[in-house]
């Protein structure tokens, strides 16, 4: 008799975005004339950079010929892609890596989820609150937690509140933890951490033999000089951190699918018998057994992001989104709304006006401004009373949305 | 202190293909003039069909425009792809499915591995011997087994020998099992199962509330009328089977990456409290949380396989490979070598001559004929004394390889 993984039954039924979709559908049915502007989900809208398109086409042509045809590639990705990532994304930061430490994937969501495979179930995990829900849910699914309490906290996970009160930099946990998820620039709050702040975590991890999962999916959006783009800018981080990066937001690859994981050679975990074991080797075994490499033309397209042309074009697209972010942030501030982020990240995290809760604000924004955002409470209990707006829209939509918000609240 | 998943340490260090690579490299270093022909790994060599290439280019162009840009798609794949798969691949077999039952992925290797996520660890799993190593290794990695014995059998897995003695159709296991892996047309043996033979398994699964994982990656290579292409051609299979399909071999997508899983709505597993639970819902939760959909242009390319032109072109490529298979099979038989498969599958499974073991034959074939194949023992203990040749090569290479084999053994 086949038995299911009962841990799945602990998950809350309604995932955030389906519930948003339901409410928007209901509203548009009742108000078919309303022009709804979506600044909710963090999905890009601009076309791919021309240099990326060109490389993509070239790779398709390769697949149409016997001479250049590409079948199974290396499961951890082509070296020509890993090398250019090292040269263009890490060397300028002073971070030395080898291609053996880079694992190309079909996206960061998969990586953040799959990395749990190589760790024992009895590790204690610390995650932010609010947080990208995948960190939380995947730990529930593998059976690392008990049931959720009425607030939504799962027994066994150490939650680290991120709020304006602590400047969105959580305190070190009081309990001893083994695995720590950090995401900077942060989703959903759009805030960043300085080198000193990250050093606190690296020092903690080294002192406790803990491992940091550092999600740097939004590093390309950093504009403030001195803010670290990689955890490896912090001394000793190679001994304690795995870094996740993504082409989704950096180069508009949400539909194209490419990401990467860095697992430094120095990084170890501990076996049941107390010995140190190389995590790079363990992850390589995972990748070679359960994955068959990212799509060849996708990897060619990803490599083109690092060509001189591709780099400039993708930076221009990021600048476009960051101008949106500024318009939203300044518009909200002019309307007297307290807000965070939007300087080094494509998300603006606002404090809901007049003590509304997140879903009340969602409904009000939808009904009065015809603008869709994401309720902060959907990212965790400490997100209650906050709200996320994304800067990934078209400029004219962003401007209209901000104008509507100012007309409603800007008194 | 971060602890590793110790189950990984039970895995045998040397995976099959790296060891083959090592021996071939050693040989070519010592014999730089030798023209080595590789019929080992099951990787395709022919270019993609022109209609597929065209659709792929069109999808790249979509990504270059604001109007047609595709960001995040549905995690379980676009409905236009699922629907055409149903219409062209399942309806002609008399199998009715809905798009909700189809999950598009980045490849069948991932699917076969990931499906274990939704099942409890205490299920007893039955796998073939010899077998595609991923079935075995992924069960070891999640911790379903004990250590391997000296033959390579892991404690806790029920192995079902596939040999010429049972006509490559294993007997029903004597122990009660909960999950059964079946792969037809079979990798590595190239053999097939009739409807009557599959019915035996479906009946067993229904009687025992077991679930069959049916790997149909090679169904497009079936040439014999009446051989089932899908497990769902067997009455009652929707109540007990998950089917895996792949574009890798069907349409030459080994480097492009696309596969699919069918999880019928009727299919249930049992919860710890003894209730039936919908597996489609469980898998959907897994897919939406841990995966972000297959690449948009890849899905467009996959859909083009089902256009009239694309279908004819991909069938022609399959016919090319199957002619290779016939040349290999007939050549071996003419040389007095006992062999199986190669009629409804792109693999020929030969009995090694003169009682050589699989690696002895590998070395002899490499040294005397400069041909690389895959030792049967690499797929499991019952593969000892067998050897796999793949029909995915270029015609002239296949002909040369067969001629060399006939010159060596054909007396």
CA angle B108, B113, B114 (to 5 degrees): 95
Residue range(s) defining the domain that contains residue B228: 52-308
Find chain A residues with C-beta within 8 A of B65's C-beta: 47
Adjacency order of strands within the sheet including A374-375: A339-341, A347-351, A386-390, A374-375
Residue that is written with structure tokens 């009946």 in the block: B203
Whole-angstrom distance, CA of residue B316 vs CA of residue B302 = 16
Residue A257 and residue A145 in one domain: yes
Cα distance between residue B392 and residue B330, in whole Å: 16
Q: Give the closest of A6, A252, A269 to B3, CB-based.
A: A269
Q: How many CB atoms lie within 10 A of CB A315?
A: 14
Same domain, residue pair B334 and B263: no
Closest CA to B82 of B386, B293, B310, B326: B293
Token reading at A298 = 């996708």
Q: What average pLDDT does range B306-333 have in this prediction?
A: 97
Give the pLDDT mean for B310-325: 98
**A294 and A240: one domain?**
yes
For residue B208, give the nearest of A1, A41, A298 by CB distance: A1
Residues B169 and B66 in one domain: yes
Pair B334, B408: CB distance under 8 Å: no
Domain with residue A113: its CATH number is 3.40.640.10
Q: Say how far residue B264 (Cα) sits from the centre of its chain.
A: 20
Please give the torsion angle defined by the CA atoms of residues A322, A326, A332 and A337, in that order, rounded to the nearest 10 degrees.
Answer: 90
DSSP annotation of A154 reads B
In a domain, A368, yes or no: yes
- Same domain? A394 vs A318: yes
Which token pair is A262?
């860095």
State which of A307, A334, A357 marks the end of a domain: A307
For residues B213 and B242, the answer to whether their CB atoms sit within 8 Å is yes
CA dihedral A9, B280, A259, A172 (to 10 degrees): 0
Q: Which chain A residues have a beta carbon less than 8 Å from that of B46?
A: 66, 69
Is the same domain home to B147 and B15?
no
- 3-state class percentages of chain B: helix first, strand second, coil last, to nearest 5: 45, 15, 40
Distance CA A177, CA A175 (A): 6
Shortest alpha-carbon distance between residue B226 and chain A (Å): 30
CATH number at residue A348: 3.90.1150.10
What element of type H or E holds A301? helix A296-304
Task: Give the gap in angstroms from C-alpha B69 to the nearest C-alpha of chain A.
Answer: 6
Looking only at the bridges linking them, the beta strands covering A125-129 and B158-161 are: unpaired
What kind and span of H or E run contains A323?
Answer: helix A308-334
- Residue A2 belongs to some domain of the structure: no
B71/A394 touch (CB, cutoff 8 Å), yes or no = no
- Write out pLDDT tens, residues A299-333: 999 999 999 999 999 999 999 999 999 999 999 99
Both A265 and A345 in one domain: the answer is no
Longest C-alpha distance within chain A, in Å? 67
Following DSSP, what letter does each residue of B273-331 receive, concatenated? TS-EEEHHHHHHHHHHHH---S-HHHHHHHHHTTSHHHHHHHHHHHHHHHHHHHHHHHH
- Residue B260 near residue B103, CB atoms below 8 Å: yes
**Model pLDDT, residue A12:** 82
- Whether residue B69 and residue A45 make contact (CB cut-off 8 A), yes or no, is yes
- Which residues from chain B sit within 8 angstroms of residue A120, using beta carbons? 3-6
**pLDDT band, very low/low/confident/very high, at B102 (cuts 50, 70, 90):** very high
Considering the domain architecture, whether residues B324 and B394 belong to the same structural domain is answered as: yes
- What integer pLDDT is reported at residue A41 of this predicted model? 81
* Closest by Cα among B290, B239, B256 to B76: B290
Task: Give backbone dihedrals phi and psi of A366, rounded to 5 degrees, phi first.
Answer: -70, -45
- Both tokens of B284, joined, read 């959907």
Q: Which tokens is B256 given? A: 């492009």
Name the DSSP class of A337.
-
Asked if ipTM goes beyond 0.90, one says yes
Phi then psi for residue A121, to 5 deg, are: -70, -25
Residue B89 domain-assigned? yes
State the nearest Cα–Cα gap between A177 and chain B, in angstroms: 7
Same domain for A245 and A182: yes
φ, ψ dihedrals at B117, nearest 5°? -50, -35
Q: How many domains does chain A fold into?
A: 2
Q: How far apart are CA B59 and CA B70, in angstroms?
A: 9
Q: How confident is the model at residue B14 (pLDDT cuts 50, 70, 90)?
A: low
User: CB-CB: which of A65, A119, A210 is closest to B47?
Assistant: A65
Q: What is the pLDDT of residue B409?
A: 76
Indicate yes or no: CB of A289 within 8 angstroms of CB of B60: no
Give the integer Cα–Cα distance in Å for B377 and B299: 36
Alpha-carbon span A350 to A358, nearest angstrom: 10
B15 in Cβ contact with B133 (< 8 Å): yes
- The average pLDDT across A75-83 equals 98
Q: Are residues B92 and B229 in the same domain?
A: yes
A96 vs chain B: nearest CA distance in angstroms? 24
Q: Which of A255, A278, A393 should be substituted to probe chain B, the one whose Cβ sees the most B Cβ atoms within 10 Å?
A: A255
Q: Is the CB of B296 less than 8 angstroms away from the CB of A137? A: no
Of A262, A287, A307, the domain-final residue = A307
In a domain, A179, yes or no: yes
Residue located via tokens 């300044």: A330
Predicted confidence band at B13 (pLDDT cuts at 50, 70, 90)? low
> Final residue of a domain: which of A272, A307, A342?
A307
pLDDT of residue B408: 86
- Beta strands A371-372 and A37-38, pairing class: parallel
Question: A4 and B118 in contact by Cβ < 8 A?
Answer: yes
* pLDDT: which is higher, A169 or B269: B269
Q: Are residues A356 and A272 in the same domain?
A: no
Between the alpha carbon of residue B163 and those of residues B351, B387, B391, the distances in Å are 10, 12, 21
Contact between B123 and A3 using a beta-carbon 8 Å cutoff: yes
Contacts of B60 in chain A (CB under 8 A): 53, 56-57, 60
Q: Which residues of B touch A45 (CB under 8 A)?
A: 66, 69, 71
Res B410: pLDDT: 65
Q: How far apart are CA A185 and CA A221, in angstroms?
A: 8
C-alpha to C-alpha distance for B11 and B7, rounded to whole angstroms: 8
* Nearby residues of A217 by Cβ (< 8 Å), 6 or more positions away: A108, A183, A187, A244, A245, A246, A248, A249, A259
DSSP 8-class letter at B270: E
DSSP H or E stretch at residue A183: strand A179-183
- pLDDT tens digits along B342-399: 999 999 999 999 999 999 999 999 999 999 999 999 999 999 999 999 999 999 999 9
Task: Say if residue A14's pLDDT is above 80.
Answer: no
Q: Please tell me whether residue B119 adopts helix, strand or coil conformation.
A: strand
How many CB atoms lie under 10 A from the CB of residue B35? Answer: 10
Phi, then psi, of B128 in degrees rounded to 5: -70, 165
The distance of B26 to chain A (nearest Cα, Å) reads: 20
Domain shared by A299 and A150, yes or no: yes
Determine, yes or no, domain membership for B1: no
Q: Which residues of B touch A247 (CB under 8 A)?
A: none
| B270 within some domain | yes
- Which token pair is B238? 């929707």
- Any domain includes A226: yes
Integer Cα distance of A346 and A218 in angstroms: 8
Question: What tens digit of pLDDT does each residue of B166-186 get?
Answer: 989 899 999 999 999 999 999
Confidence grade of residue B42 (pLDDT, cut at 50, 70, 90): confident
Phi, psi of A237 (to 5 degrees): -65, -25
Report the 10 Å Cβ neighbour count for A93.
13
Contact between chains at B63 and A53 (C-beta distance less than 8 A): yes
A369 assigned to some structural domain: yes
A156 phi-psi bin (left φ>0, alpha ψ -120 to 50, beta other): left
Average confidence (pLDDT) over B320-339: 96
Parallel/antiparallel/unpaired status of strands B259-262 and B211-215:
unpaired
Reported as a pLDDT band with limits 50, 70 and 90, residue B333 is very high
């Amino acid at each position: 008799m086949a038995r299911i993984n009962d841990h799945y039954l602990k998950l809350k039924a309604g995932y955030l975005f389906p519930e948003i979709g339901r409410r928007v559908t209901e509203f548009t049915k009742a108000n078919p004339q309303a022009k709804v502007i979506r600044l909710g989900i963090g999905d890009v809208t601009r076309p791919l950079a021309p240099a990326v398109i060109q490389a993509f086409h070239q790779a398709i042509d390769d697949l149409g010929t016997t001479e250049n045809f590409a079948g199974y590639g290396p499961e951890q990705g082509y070296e020509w892609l890993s090398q250019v990532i090292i040269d263009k994304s890490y060397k300028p930061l002073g971070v030395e890596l080898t291609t053996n430490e880079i694992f190309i994937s079909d996206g960061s969501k998969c990586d953040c989820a799959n990395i749990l495979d190589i760790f024992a179930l009895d590790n204690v995990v610390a995650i932010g609150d609010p947080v990208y829900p995948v960190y939380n849910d995947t730990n529930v699914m593998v059976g690392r937690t008990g049931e959720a309490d009425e607030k939504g906290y799962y027994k066994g996970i150490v939650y680290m509140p991120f709020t304006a009160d602590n400047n969105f930099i959580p305190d070190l946990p009081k309990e001893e933890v083994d695995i720590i998820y950090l995401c900077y620039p942060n989703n959903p709050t759009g805030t960043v951490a300085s080198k000193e702040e990250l050093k606190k975590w690296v020092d903690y991890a080294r002192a406790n033999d803990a491992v940091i999962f550092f999600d740097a999916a939004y590093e390309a959006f950093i504009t403030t000089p001195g803010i670290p783009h990689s955890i490896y800018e912090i001394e000793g981080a190679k001994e304690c951190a795995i870094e996740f990066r993504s082409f989704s937001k950096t180069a508009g690859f949400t539909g194209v699918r490419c990401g990467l994981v860095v697992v430094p050679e120095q990084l170890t975990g501990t076996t049941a018998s107390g010995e140190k074991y190389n995590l790079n080797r363990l992850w390589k075994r995972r990748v070679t057994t359960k994955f068959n490499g990212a799509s060849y033309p996708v990897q060619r397209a990803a490599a083109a992001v690092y060509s001189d042309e591709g780099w400039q074009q993708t930076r221009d697209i990021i600048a476009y989104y960051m101008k949106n972010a500024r318009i939203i942030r300044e518009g909200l501030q002019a309307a007297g709304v307290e807000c965070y982020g939007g300087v080094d990240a494509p998300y603006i995290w606002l404090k809901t006006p007049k003590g509304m809760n997140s879903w009340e604000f969602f409904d009000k924004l939808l009904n009065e401004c015809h603008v869709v955002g994401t309720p902060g409470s959907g990212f965790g209990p400490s997100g209650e009373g906050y709200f996320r707006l994304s800067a990934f829209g078209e400029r004219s939509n962003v401007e209209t949305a901000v104008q509507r918000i100012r007309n409603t609240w800007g008194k």
